[in-house]
Amino acid sequence: MRENSIKNLLAEGNKAVNGWCSTPSPFSAEVLAHAGFDSVTIDLQHGLIDYQMALSMMQAINTTETPVMCRVPWLENGIIMKMLDAGVAGVICPMVNNAADAENFVAACSYPPRGRRSFGPTRAVMHWGGDYAKKANDQMLKIAMIETVEALENMDAIMSTPGLNGIYIGPSDLSFSMGHEARLDPVEPAVVEAVATIRDNAHKHGLFCGLHCSDPAYAKDMHEKGMNLVSIPSDNRLLMGACKDWIAGARGSNAKEEAPKSY
């Protein structure tokens, strides 16, 4: 079986930088796959992407050694199973709010006897190799998002779910749920503290912890404070920023009024 390099990298305690595709475009995804990220995640939730497009994007990313993960739109059996059959190296599930959600998520990702994943890894076996069926439960990452007050309260129960590999924090929804403005790179003390608490608890449970970021300096700081994986906001946000910078540079203005920071 092909190595799942993002799993290994995190298992060895290294810091990962993760690309994030919201743009429905295989070529755009291929660009990210060549940029030097440790992994690239296709976002089927807030990205403008559904299954068929995600499949094409996986093919484009798999032209490189960069592993592909996905975020599914919701905790639903159908799409989780289909993305795994297509060969993703890991699944990020939004809005895991309690132990039942976490168990439900891991079971959807796992073959019997651990779970209820149905058998038929059509593309996965071609991509990962003939022993995929035997090793998939162990190798494919299962990552739960903690991003609500309810999830904060159920953190330990969620993190105790057997088979779960990591936690991913969505700061916008977490801020929203805690009564603050939705934004990335939180500065509100209560949210900053919640992020740190999740990270530390994840580590206690032997899980890695990832965070959705906006500014690379903020991401670097998070890495230094122990966060295992940081992500860019999205490919479209980076593209928009690069276009605005170029225009400002060509016009000699320094109009760096970016797209709104808050999501």
Tell me which of 30, 101, 103, 185 binds its own copies, using CB under 8 A: 30
- Residue holding tokens 């993960």? 69
Asked if 98 is part of the footprint of its own copies (rule: CB under 8 A), the reply reads no
**Which span (3-11, 157-165, 171-179, 192-200) binds its own copies, by CB under 8 A?**
171-179
The Cα–Cα gap between 258 and 114 comes to 46
Q: Is 207 helix (H, G, I), strand (E, B) or coil?
A: coil
Using CB under 8 A, which residues numbered 217 to 256 contact its own copies?
217, 219-220, 223, 230, 232, 234-236, 238-252
Q: CB–CB of 238/25 below 8 Å?
A: no
Which amino acid is present at 234? S
Binding-residue total with its own copies (CB under 8 A): 98
Sequence-distant (6+) residues with CB within 8 A of 208 are 10, 165, 166, 167, 202, 228, 229
Asked if 36 is part of the footprint of its own copies (rule: CB under 8 A), the reply reads yes
Tell me which of 56, 163, 188, 203 binds its own copies, using CB under 8 A: 56
34 vs 225 by CB, closer to its own copies: 34
Task: Find the farthest-apart pair of alpha carbons in the chain and give their distance in angstroms, rounded.
Answer: 63
| Cα distances (Å, whole numbers) of residue 236 to 23, 117, 210, 259 | 6, 33, 20, 10
Q: Pattern 140-169, binding to its own copies, x per CB under 8 A? A: -------x----------------------
Q: CB–CB of 259/47 below 8 Å?
A: no
182, two tokens:
């939705």
Asked if 203 is part of the footprint of its own copies (rule: CB under 8 A), the reply reads no
77 vs 205 by CB, closer to its own copies: 77
Q: Pattern 99-128, binding to its own copies, x per CB under 8 A? A: ------------xxx--x-xxxxxx-xxx-
Asked if 50 is part of the footprint of its own copies (rule: CB under 8 A), the reply reads yes
